[in-house]
Every structure is written in structure tokens, then in C-alpha cells.
Amino acid sequence: MAVQDEPMSLSSPFVRLCLVWPRWVGWGALLLAAWGPCAAAAPGGLGSALEAAWAHDPQAAALRQREEQAQAAQDLAHGWTPGPGAVSVSQRNDRLNQNQGRREWEVELSSPIWLPAQRTARQDEAQRRLDLTAARAVALRWQLAGQLRQRWWAVALARESQALARSRLESARALASTVQARFQKGDLARVDANLAQVEVLSAQSDLIAAEQAKQEAEAQFRALTAEVAPAVLSPELLTSSPSPTWDGPSHPLLLQAQATVNWAQSRLAVVQASRRDAPEVALRLTNERADAFEPYHQAVGVKVTLPFASDARSRQDGAEVRAELNQAEAEQALIQRQVQQEYVQAYQAWQLAQQQLALAQTRQSLSEDNGRLAQRAFDLGEADLPSLLRARTLQREADVAVKQQQVALELAVSRLLQAQGVLP
């Protein structure tokens, strides 16, 4: 069985169920909803590897910056004004013409003010934006977990293949030694001794290929996590019997889709509450005199600026946000169907993996029995070397099949957990 190194997506063929329902209340507990439920794994297993991969993921660093941006938008929405104020200073005199000492100073302090319901809409939009940022982080972590699970079991399969190749080489060398001794005694022909040596060389070649494959798998794992793959690759476990159907709302993709819809709805509310630019209130202070012989006179005034509404601009902004909202709702429905279909396929693949392992174990038992009988017949001189080699080849293939199916079943467990949205 070949384990491909590719991110787990909604079309992965192998998955496995973990009925660990996350506990969360509202969007404020969004991260706990994704990080809280996790597969049962030994310390230092997939969970620790995921933390290492997350710490070195470039997209995770970018998300942290987006979170700061969303937090700044929330702080702005909770301010007393929709934007910063301004100050202006002006001065007039008659020095260029009459120069009679006419002087006038004016200072103006201005600030925009919230429109009715605009502040509440902006605050809700800022909170929805924070929720979406958190949901994106959960979804990104889930995607990273899929890649990690894939490489985790690729390393496991490569190690099993290397162990089997080494065992084959040791067995081939022992057989070659026995055949060589019997050839020197005249019990076996030279062709048998040559066949035994060919078997040793073939086993050495397979071992070299298996070691190379193991090094490549471990290198890919190290590239993702910046750590060496653990010596013991612990499998993920189920806590309950799988169900043929699943309709859980806490899948990271569903949480992200819902957060996207909520953000689009809040943006539409902001557009509806902001059909015109924010009004502006200004405090004006003047200090003036008519000529050099008069004292300065002070005055205080208030200026209010009310921008006109632009129906064309409102319709343009509203149409753009409504289009994004419609797209987000359509994508949410599509993701819902894909997640449900993925789980059904995963459950079926998990059942097939169990059946394949049972068949491989039965085949292994029969092949081991035939191998013992062939070895005994060869030792007694009742069978030739080619017959023994064929029996050993079948036995070796059966052992390889069992190891591969064991890894395949463990991979199916991880992929099923991945399809359900459970993180290591």
C-alpha cells in the first residue's frame, strides 16, 4: 500500500470516527470548540507534533497579524467618535494693503459623530470580524493536522517496510548459509547455491530502497514540524462505536463558513446604517480687532456639517455586500453537503479497512503454515530450493500485506477523525 503525502481534503478516501463532541458556547468559545475535542493519543504524539507544525507555519503568523487588525477595528468601533478629530488654525491681517493693525485669529476643533444605529452596527461588525479570524485559525490548524496525519503514517509505513526488508535479508542470509553448507557436502547443486545468493542480493536491494523511502518520509515530516519523527508513532483511538451518519455542527470548515456568513450580514447592517458620511461638529474660537487702536474681541461658535446622502453610492455598497453574503451562504450549503458526504465515505472506508486487515491476517496464517511445511520438506530433502523460495516469497508478501493493512487501518482512523473535524 502506498501512502501519498497530500493534504487531507473533503475528498480523502480514508477517514475514521471519533465521537468526541466539542463543548462550546457562542463564538467566544470558538477556539475551545476546535482545540478542545481531540483524539486519544499518547503524550508526545500527534498533538505535540501539531503544536510544533503550527509554531512554524507561515500562514499562522499571518493570521496573528490579522487578529491584531481585527482587534484594532473593534477598538475603533467602541470609540466615542467614528474617526479622529481635527484642529485647524487660520489668521487674517491687512499688512499687505492698509496695514492699520487689523488682526483676526480663528481656531476650529472638529470631530465626526456617529449616525443613529451606526455605532452598534460597527461594533457588531468588528466582533464578527474577530470571530471570523478565529474561525480561520481553527480551519487552518485543521488543514495542517491533515497534512501532519498523512506524513505521520507515511513514516510509520516506511519504517514497517524497512523492518520487513531487514528481516527478509536476515532470513535470506541464514538460508544461503545453510544452502552453501549443504552444497559443499554435495547434498545440493551449485544452481541452488546461486539461487540462495541471488535471494540475498535481492533482499539487500530491497533493504536499501526501504531505507531510502524511510529517510524521505522522515525528511518530509521534519520539513513540516521542524522536529524529528518520534521513535514510537502512537495511533489515534476511537472513544465510541462509529455511526454510519454524522451531522455535527462543530467541524472547522462549517464554523468558518458560518462565521463568514455572520460577518457578511454585519457588514450589510453597517452599509444600511451608513447611507451618508458621518456628520461633523466643530467648535470655533475667534480672536480679532478692527485696527491697532481697538482691543481684541473674542467669540465662540459652533458649526455642524451634515453631508447629503448618496443613493447611488448606497446602492453600490449594498449590492456588493449582498453579493458577498449570497456567495457566503451558497458556500456554506455546499460545505455542509461535502462534510456530510465525506463522513459517509470515511465510515465506509473504515469498514473496508477492517475487512482488508482480517483477510490479510488469514492469508498470513495460511502462508506461515505453508512456509513451515516447505522448510521442513526442504530440510528432509523432500522439496527443492525453488519450492522453498516460492513459499517464502508468498509468506513474505503476506507479512507485508498485514503490516500495510495495519498502517492503512490506523491511517483510516486518522482520516476519519480529520473528516469529522477532530484535531489531534
Q: In whole angstroms, what is the distance from residue 200 CA to residue 211 CA? A: 16
Question: 169: domain CATH number?
Answer: 1.20.1600.10
CB atoms within 10 A of CB 216: 14
H or E stretch at 93: strand 86-93
Q: In whole angstroms, what is the distance from residue 350 CA to residue 420 CA? A: 13
158 sits in the region (left: phi over 0; alpha: psi -120 to 50; else beta) called alpha
Are 422 and 28 in contact by the 8 Å Cβ rule? The answer is: no
> Strand, helix or coil at 393?
helix
Q: What pLDDT is attached to residue 261? A: 94
Q: What pLDDT is attached to residue 30? A: 38
CA 220 to the chain's CA centroid: 17
Residue 140 C-alpha cell reads as 487552518
How confident is the model over 287-308, as pLDDT tens digits? 887 777 788 888 888 888 877 7
CA 278 to the chain's CA centroid: 41
How confident is the model over 128-166, as pLDDT tens digits? 889 999 999 999 999 999 999 999 999 999 999 998 899
Are 256 and 421 in contact by the 8 Å Cβ rule? The answer is: no
In a domain, 262, yes or no: yes
In a domain, 394, yes or no: yes
In a domain, 379, yes or no: yes
Q: What pLDDT is attached to residue 19? A: 28
Alpha helices by DSSP H, listed for 186-307, are 190-225, 252-273
Q: What pLDDT is attached to residue 31? A: 38
Of 417, 414, 420, whose CA–CA distance to 153 is shortest?
414
DSSP letter for 91, please.
E
Residue 416 C-alpha cell reads as 476519519
In a domain, 263, yes or no: yes
In a domain, 44, yes or no: yes
* CA distances in angstroms from 122 to 226, 252, 270, listed in the order given: 42, 26, 6
pLDDT less than 50: residues of the chain:
1-43
Q: In whole angstroms, what is the distance from residue 7 CA to residue 355 CA? A: 26
In a domain, 290, yes or no: no
In a domain, 256, yes or no: yes
Number of domains in the chain: 1
- In which domain, by residue range, is 40 found? 27-81+116-275+329-420
Q: What pLDDT is attached to residue 326? A: 93
**Backbone dihedral angles phi then psi of residue 123, each to the nearest 5 degrees:** -65, -45
150 sits in the region (left: phi over 0; alpha: psi -120 to 50; else beta) called alpha
Of 145, 130, 119, 203, whose CA–CA distance to 169 is shortest?
203
In a domain, 350, yes or no: yes
* Antiparallel, parallel or unpaired: β 103-112 and 297-305: unpaired
How confident is the model over 230-239, as pLDDT tens digits? 988 888 887 7
Tell me how long the chain is: 424
DSSP 42-67: -TTSHHHHHHHHHHT-HHHHHHHHHH
Q: In whole angstroms, what is the distance from residue 68 CA to residue 260 CA? A: 18
How confident is the model over 184-201, as pLDDT tens digits? 988 888 888 898 899 899
| Mean pLDDT of the residues in the chain | 81
Q: What pLDDT is attached to residue 44? A: 59
- pTM value is 0.75
